């Protein structure tokens, strides 16, 4: 079962979603400042005062995380980089954008988030100072904690460990200087994996309260240790995927769409039933793909993926036109596009096939199965048996 995100709001066409784990972040921050931070800094207040301070702090902290992501999204927009969505989760937020094709937008876009936190931090620090920088009023403590925390977030995010913002900044700079996106990614992602391992190790030492890693009392030590381990695992995982992805894309850049495409697949009409197109055909050719044409024009593509989506007992009721991916949804690619670009296009638009088109003429179709075949040959999908 997939956990569904909660839609918070849509801002400038960008959906901002809350992953259920984001409430854990809100809860943890609120609990931590209510029971540890504020009672230590501002003694002698009632527990309801600490609670009110903590609730305001929790929501303001949450808001800073959202603003950080909105800053990424806004800058992405100014560079015409498509933003899919913003997801807020336990570790902070993620702004999902389309791949950036140049180093400069990637650099500025990545800096925007930490810059937003730094700006919030300095504004709050200014407010705290203008209000007299008192030490006995709850408001001053809330402002001060939020200001310092935002500055710490800005600094933490700038650690050059991919996929954190700092790692993306580093990648963009290496990309700028070396001209190689892949080696820039490889280097930053290895730093990211290393940093992930450090967070996991520090988290374990903190949770078990090993000497030198003492943090307050047991509940705080355990929860912050666990959070550190989780962030470490998450960063390491994303960095490892980025390494694999860059190796895959590098391998696929050597192939052109025209080399791997299936030229002129069999043509069917939109009102043909799936039965004859699928029965006995799928067993012989599991990767079968049809062009669905009407009066010589491509109206859609029907591949084995789409056929298998329809239960077999319905094959004599559903037509090719109903099961196909309509042409309007397909993203045509040029014959001289690299297969790496074609795969990115398919990933982005969630497609199994793309038509290969030159000067308005449909030459053939490129499917994921063909690409998987190449990756298999290259050894990406095989695991050696040891022993």
Contact set with Zn ion (CB under 5 A): 113, 165
- Whichever of 113 and 367 has its CB closer to Zn ion, that residue is 113
Those residues with Cβ within 8 angstroms of residue 135's Cβ, 6 or more apart along the chain or in another chain = 42, 141
Closest to Zn ion by CB, 58 or 113: 113
**Shortest approach of Zn ion to residue 157 CB, angstroms?**
5
Q: Which is nearer to Zn ion, 156 or 190 (CB)?
A: 156
3-class SS at 144? helix
CA distances from 111 to 106, 140, 205 (A): 9, 29, 31
Nearest residue to the partner Zn ion, using Cβ: 113
Q: Are strands 92-97 and 83-89 parallel, antiparallel or unpaired?
A: antiparallel
Contact assessment for residue 323 and residue 218, using Cβ atoms and an 8 Å cutoff: no
Supply the minimum distance, in Å, between the C-beta of residue 58 and Zn ion: 20
Rounded least distance, CB 95 to Zn ion, Å: 7
Structure tokens at 278: 């699928």
CB nearer to Zn ion: pick between 114 and 300:
114
Q: Cα(361)–Cα(363) distance, rounded to whole angstroms?
A: 6
Minimum CB–partner distance for residue 25 and Zn ion (Å): 15
Do 124 and 146 meet the contact criterion of CB atoms below 8 Å apart?
yes
By beta-carbon proximity to Zn ion, the closer residue of 82 and 259 is 82
- In angstroms, the CA 164 to CA 160 distance is 7
- Least gap, CB of 324 to Zn ion (angstroms): 39
Nearer to Zn ion, 112 or 325 (CB): 112
Q: Cα–Cα distance between 156 and 309 in angstroms, integer?
A: 45
Tokens of 385: 């048996």
Tell me how far, at minimum, the Cβ of 355 lies from Zn ion, in Å: 36
Decide whether 108 or 204 has the Cβ nearer to Zn ion: 108
- Burial status of residue 195 (CB atoms within 10 A of its CB: 0-12, 13-18, 19 or more): buried
CB of 86 to Zn ion, least distance (A): 10
* Residue 89: CB minimum distance to Zn ion, A: 13
Q: For residues 119 and 137, what is the distance between their CA atoms, to the nearest angstrom?
A: 24
Nearest CA to 200 among 151, 152, 239, 247?
239
Are 6 and 88 a contacting pair, CB within 8 Å? no
Q: Which residues contact 199 (CB under 8 A, 6 or more apart)?
A: 228, 229, 231, 232, 235
Q: Which is nearer to Zn ion, 112 or 243 (CB)?
A: 112
Residues 151, 152, 157, 160: is their CA dihedral positive or negative? positive
Distance between CA atoms of residues 54 and 31, nearest Å: 7
| Residue where the block lists tokens 């690619």 | 333
Q: Which is nearer to Zn ion, 113 or 303 (CB)?
A: 113
Give min distance, CB of 104 to Zn ion, in A. Answer: 17
For residue 14, the 8-state DSSP code is: E
CB nearer Zn ion, residue 72 or residue 353: 72
Q: Which residue has the tokens 């329809």?
A: 310
Q: For residues 162 and 168, is the Cβ–Cβ distance under 8 A? A: yes
Minimal distance, residue 154 CB to Zn ion, in Å: 10
């Amino acid at each position: 079962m997939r956990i569904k995100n909660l839609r918070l709001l849509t801002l400038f066409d960008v959906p901002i979603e809350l992953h259920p784990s984001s409430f854990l972040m809100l809860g943890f921050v609120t609990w931590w400042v209510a029971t540890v931070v504020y009672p230590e800094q501002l003694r002698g207040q009632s527990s309801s005062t600490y609670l009110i301070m903590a609730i305001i702090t929790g929501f303001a902290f949450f808001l800073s995380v959202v603003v950080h992501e909105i800053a990424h999204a806004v800058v992405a927009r100014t560079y015409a980089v498509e933003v899919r969505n913003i997801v807020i989760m336990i570790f902070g937020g993620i702004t999902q954008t389309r791949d950036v094709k140049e180093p400069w937008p990637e650099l500025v876009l990545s800096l925007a988030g930490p810059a937003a936190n730094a700006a919030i931090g300095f504004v709050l620090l200014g407010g705290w100072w203008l209000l007299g920088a008192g030490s006995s009023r709850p408001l001053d403590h809330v402002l001060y904690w939020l200001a310092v925390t935002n500055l710490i977030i800005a600094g933490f995010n700038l650690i050059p460990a991919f996929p954190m913002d700092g790692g993306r900044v580093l990648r963009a700079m290496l990309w700028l200087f070396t001209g190689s996106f892949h080696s820039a990614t490889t280097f930053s992602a290895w730093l990211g994996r290393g940093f992930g391992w450090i967070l996991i190790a520090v988290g374990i030492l903190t949770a078990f309260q090993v000497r030198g890693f003492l943090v307050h009392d047991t509940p705080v030590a355990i929860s912050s240790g666990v959070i550190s381990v989780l962030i470490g695992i998450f960063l390491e995982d994303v960095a490892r995927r980025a390494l694999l992805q860059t190796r895959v894309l590098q391998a696929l850049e050597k192939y052109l769409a025209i080399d791997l495409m299936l030229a002129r697949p069999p043509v069917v009409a939109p009102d043909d039933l799936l039965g004859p197109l699928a029965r006995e055909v799928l067993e012989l050719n599991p990767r079968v793909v049809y062009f669905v044409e009407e009066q010589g024009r491509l109206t859609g593509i029907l591949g084995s993926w789409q056929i298998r989506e329809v239960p077999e007992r319905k094959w004599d009721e559903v037509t090719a036109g109903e099961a196909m991916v309509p042409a309007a949804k397909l993203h045509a690619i040029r014959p001289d596009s690299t297969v790496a670009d074609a795969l990115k296009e398919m990933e982005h638009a969630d497609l199994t096939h793309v038509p290969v088109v030159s000067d308005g003429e449909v030459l053939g179709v490129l499917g994921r199965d063909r690409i998987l075949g190449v990756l298999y040959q290259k050894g990406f999908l095989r695991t050696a048996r040891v022993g």
